[in-house]
Structure 1
Amino acid sequence: MHDAPTWDPQQYLRHAGHRTRPFHDLLARIPELPHRGRPARIADLGCGPGNVTVQLTDRWPDAHITGLDSSPEMLKEAETYAGPTPGGGHLDFAPADASVWQPEERFDLIVSSAALQWVPNHPDSFPAWIAGLTPGGTLAFQVPGNFTSPSHALLGELCDEPQWRPRLAPHGRRFVHILSPAAYLERLSSLGCEVDAWETTYVQLLQGEDPVLDWVKGTALRPVLTALEDDPPAREEFLAQYRDLLRKAYPPGPHGTVFPFRRIFVVARKPG
């Protein structure tokens, strides 16, 4: 994606259960697609390791689904799902940068799960994405909305510390461009869409030692880890400092560590 960090699919998948739940909630609100008499054509923008993309085949078994991502590491992992699907459809993957991607064919559904937060200009792409839908088609996405929570606020503050600012300042507050549900509704309604926008805070119970640090290692912390990957001692020192801050913000309880996580959802249907 935009200024993409180096991704670690296995680290990302360590919390796959919590990470995929918002996708299922998004999928449940997507209306029927306008593909009568033919297989649905679907694009998954920012498909990551493909574990979510493949679940689209449960709802649309004979669809032709293409997962798109800019990370070679993620696409390599996703390729394990490529090929014919049990319902007679087809699943493939291709490189694409969501900050500049425009549909080169008509899609019945463009879906994106936890990817557009990496694309500061993504609302500017809405006109092209809606134009790339068949009449009655749908644009559906969900993005994290927890960028003022301690996990992200502390990361930004630490990156702004004098010790780290010269190397990490651009990586601490990358997500301030996420819009509110109301703002997304306004943007897409102005394009003629019927819009369903909402937010949910999942109160997640994480297990293990320093589980919030383990969570952000798969997502928000990737730009920092990438910036410090050639300096292992600095990387470990940063992680130790950030770990100590997270331990105070998210103390473990008798059943695990409670980690509230807000998500923003949007389903926009193009006029038929």
Structure 2
Amino acid sequence: MSDWNPALYGRYEDERTRPARELLARVPLEQAARVADLGCGPGNSTELLLNRFGGAQVVGIDNSPAMLDSARQRLPGTPFELADIGTWSPAEPFGLLYSNATLQWVRGHETLFPRLYSLLAPGGVLAVQMPDNLGEPSHRAMREVAALPSYTAHIGDPEALRAPVLSVGQYYDLLAAQGAKVDVWHTVYQHPLASAAAIVEWVRATGLRPFVDRLPAALQVGYLAEYEKRIDERYPARADGQRLLAFPRLFIVARKPA
């Protein structure tokens, strides 16, 4: 799969940063010595962490060189590291491990979440937000088009491109079993977007990437046209002409005993 496109991702930065702000608002820490932004992307969430914890050592972690380049331009002087969250193993514990809209791309949550929790210092917090939208029309349509004869040979099994997140109760149990005090909730955002094409542009930067990137250039146009047609049918214009993109997100805040 090609690298992430920071410019495309950033076209809806305000909307994408809103859940990051709301996750951070529920982190029950007055201060933290060491903070990691797991899946920092272009640095928009890292900037929130720097503003909240001014005296902390804040580091951004991502596996995308393009995103890290963008983050370094945005926040010169802040350390950013190229790493795979699935195997990341820091030498010292952290007061806050924060991850906004990233861990849905990392498989094996049954072991990943306890492992990340184990990297916390006493009293530390694991704070995570993940999209929970695989059942939404926007994502069902991706898989439907991928299953058409023109595309299936290139894309393969569309169900295998992103693992579904676990249930609220499963995340609670995973972390509560480690002794954590767990705060978990689910929110459905409603994003007004100007057109079906705008919805396609939104998901083109994230969830649609694994589908389109597997296609040769000659087939990408046709895939996107068929996908946009289905989006147009499933997200009708509202009274003001806007389309409402429903976007469910799952939030988890787990605190380690001091």
- The interval holding the TM-score normalised by the smaller chain is over 0.9
Distance in 2 (alpha carbons) for counterparts of 1:270 and 1:146: 29
1:164 and 2:151 are equivalent in the alignment: yes
Q: Which residue number in structure 1 is paired with residue 212 of structure 2?
A: 225
Matched with 1:119 is: 106
Residue 226 of structure 1: how far off its partner (Å): 1.9
Task: State the one-letter code of the partner of 1:252.
Answer: A
Q: CA deviation at 1:255?
A: 4.2
The equivalent of 1:249 in structure 2 is: 234
Query: What does residue 16 of structure 1 align with?
Result: 13
Contact residue 180 and residue 264 of structure 1 kept, 8 A: no
1:50 maps to: 43
Q: CA deviation at 1:173?
A: 5.0
Residues 269/7 of structure 1: CA separation in 2 closer, same or farther (3 Å cut):
same
1:261 equivalent in structure 2: 247
Structure 1, residues 173-193: CA drift from partner, whole Å, max 9, x if none?
A: 533430111111111101110
Output the TM-score relative to the length of structure 2: 0.94
1:213 deviates by 0.4
What's 1:7 paired with? Answer: 4
SS where residue 27 of structure 2 aligns? coil
CA deviation after TM superposition for structure 1 residue 65, in Å: 0.6
Compared with structure 1, are the counterparts of its residues 235 and 182 closer, same or farther at alpha carbon in structure 2 (3 Å cutoff)?
same
Q: Distance in 2 between matches of 1:13 and 1:172?
A: 27
In the superposition, the TM-score normalised over structure 1's length comes to: 0.89
- Three-state SS of the structure 2 residue aligned to 1:52 is helix
The 8 Å contact of residues 34 and 56 in structure 2, kept in 1 or not, is answered as yes
The Cα of 1:122 is off from its aligned counterpart by 3.3
Q: Deviations over 1:79-132 (max 9, x none)?
A: 113445xxxxxx210101112222321100000000011112133122322221
Confirm or deny that 1:32 pairs with 2:17: no
Moved over 2 A (4+): 81-84, 169-177
Could you tell me which residue of structure 2 aligns to residue 212 of structure 1? 199
Task: After superposition, give the CA deviation of every residue in 1:172-221 in whole Å (9 maximum; x if it has no partner).
Answer: 55334301111111111011100000000011111256111011111001
Deviation sequence 1:22-50 (CA, Å, 0-9, x none)? 11110111011564xxxx21001111111
Conserved? CA contact 2:175–2:254, under 8 Å:
yes
**Structure 1 residues not aligned, in runs of 5+:** 85-90
- Does the residue aligned with 2:179 lie in a helix, a strand or coil? coil
Determine whether 1:236 maps to 2:236.
no
Secondary structure in structure 2 of the residue aligned to 1:102: coil
The SS at the match of 1:101 is coil
| Equivalent-residue separation in structure 2 for 1:261 and 1:115 (angstroms) | 15
The aligned residue for residue 70 of structure 1 is 63
Indicate which of 184, 192, 195 corresponds to 1:197.
184
Q: What SS is found at the alignment partner of 2:90?
A: coil
Does the 8 Å contact 2:114/2:174 carry over to 1? no
Within the alignment, does 1:60 sit opposite 2:53 as a pair?
Answer: yes
Identify the match of residue 87 of structure 2 among 100, 123, 128. 100
Q: How many residues align?
A: 257
For residues 223 and 75 of structure 1, what CA distance do their matches in structure 2 show? 20
Where in structure 2 are there 5+ consecutive unaligned residues? Answer: none
Q: How does 1:103-182 map to 2 (within 5 A)?
A: 103-171=90-158, 173-182=160-169
Structure with a larger share of its residues in helix: 2
1:51 is displaced (CA, Å) by 1.4
